[in-house]
Amino acid sequence: MTRSLRGLDWLNFFVANFQTGFGPFISVYLTGVGWTQGAIGAALSAGTVAGMVSQVPGGILVDAVRSKRAAAGAAIVAIMASALAIALWPALLPIAVAEVLHAFASSVLGPAIAALSLALVGHSVLGERLGRNARYLAIGNAFAAALMGTFGYYVGERAVFLLTAALGIPALAAIQMISSAHLSSTEVSKTAPTSRPEGTVWSWRFLTDRRLLAYAACASLFQLANAAMLPIAAGMVTKRAGSEASLVIAACIVAPQAVTAAISPRVGRIAEAWGRKPILLLGFGVLPIRGILFAGIADPYVMVLIQFLDGLSAAALGILTPLIVADITRDTGAYTTALGVVGLAIGGGATLSTTAAGLIADHLGSEAAFLGLAAVGVFATLLVAGLMPETRPSGNHSAAMSGASGLPGFSNSAGDP
């Protein structure tokens, strides 16, 4: 079992690279190979649209397939293939296809890892496990940013994509470490429908769950307030810092990852002991503070310090999204489909965020954009406070009510099948 859990750690670590290389960095690479801005925009838009469109189908697919390991493995192979295509064949059609393939594979990989986590540890300690996932993902992200920055600078941008493809191999090895013997509940329930409780035939009924809709709305607003903050802040660093601007921006990217890596396991345990909502409120509440600080502080080095707050939000949302959706869809067999629905809401919020905040920044200045994002953050926090119920299974709810003094995180394991 330890080996399987270690495998999941490493899987999270190595897949982090898959996000870094395909983000804004791809436009740097395509510029370097002589692409026009119009062609780069078209290829990236294809990826963005595919990323949105594939969220729900990706979740449905992971729910439907028997082996979540195979789903994760196939997604990793697809992402490796798209990284190779980008490195070796930088023409419009291959790049657009690679971007779309990467988007679809990512929409499978995320839910597959969440499903594997649930199948490995069960509902009772899922929060703690997701905390570990978030820690290794954050370390992987920081590692990837450092590695790719170095590689891009000294070897060339093409090498970054070859490296991304190569890092898929240890990710596949990590999946191999996860023994299928340890993957209990979810996988079994797929193969043996009789073991599922009555009325859990897969249906879209989970979509009418108010808690899921409320969380999707809150998470979407979170990204609406959050996604544009780093790009606009980084743009201000470019404007205000001298030759060290790139390093300051790198620090702005890595700082929150360090915080997330440090606090995630604790956040996961607290979510089990105290409930989801306090953490959710904390993660959302940090957002307007960050926006106001960014609006008021011009010093590029202080901006790095403000970015530490982002680590708090990232840990909270990174852990609570798969955890709350697992709470809500328990025994429905629709866990990853529901994750896809929330993922679609998050993606929509993020896309709208950069567009809207970019427009505000152009016409009214960066400070106005940050204040606008902060206002959305306030609204999102109020929405969480007013709309979002505690989703932690009621078996240990009473325990949490009576003891705000910090309970051990395992008190609910007795109530778990």
Partner 1 sequence: MPRIRNLSFNGRRLSLLGGSTIIAGTFFVGLAAAQTPSGAPADQAAGGTALNGASLDYFPRDHLFRILGKDVLSAKGEDMGRIVDVLFDEKGEPHAAVIDFGGFLGVGSRKIAISWSALRFDLGEKKNAIALDLDREQLKAAPEYKSAESDKPIPVVAQPQPAPHEPAADPSR
Interface residues with partner 1 (CB under 8 A) are 20, 23-28, 31-39, 90-93, 145, 148-149, 152, 230-231, 233-235, 237-243, 245-247, 249-250, 253, 362
319: its two tokens: 């852990």
- How far apart are alpha carbons 55 and 105 in whole angstroms? 10
Question: Maximum distance among all alpha carbons in the chain?
Answer: 65
By beta-carbon proximity to partner 1, the closer residue of 3 and 240 is 240
Cβ count within 10 A of residue 403: 13
- How far apart are alpha carbons 231 and 333 in whole angstroms? 38
277: its two tokens: 């909502």
Residue 345 beta carbon to partner 1: minimum distance, rounded to whole angstroms: 24
Residue 241 beta carbon to partner 1: minimum distance, rounded to whole angstroms: 7
By beta-carbon proximity to partner 1, the closer residue of 301 and 403 is 301
- How far apart are alpha carbons 395 and 285 in whole angstroms? 28
183's CB contacts (< 8 A; 6+ apart) are 68, 69, 116, 119, 120
Q: What DSSP state is assigned to residue 320?
A: H
Cβ count within 10 A of residue 216: 22
- How far apart are alpha carbons 144 and 17 in whole angstroms? 5
By beta-carbon proximity to partner 1, the closer residue of 33 and 64 is 33
- How far apart are alpha carbons 388 and 210 in whole angstroms? 9
375: its two tokens: 């206002």
CA-to-CA separations, 353 to 50, 110, 231, 296, 373, in angstroms, rounded:
18, 22, 11, 20, 8
Task: Note the Cα 276 to chain centre separation in Å.
Answer: 17
Radius of gyration of the chain (CA): 21
Residue 30 beta carbon to partner 1: minimum distance, rounded to whole angstroms: 8
By beta-carbon proximity to partner 1, the closer residue of 147 and 378 is 147
Residue 215 beta carbon to partner 1: minimum distance, rounded to whole angstroms: 28
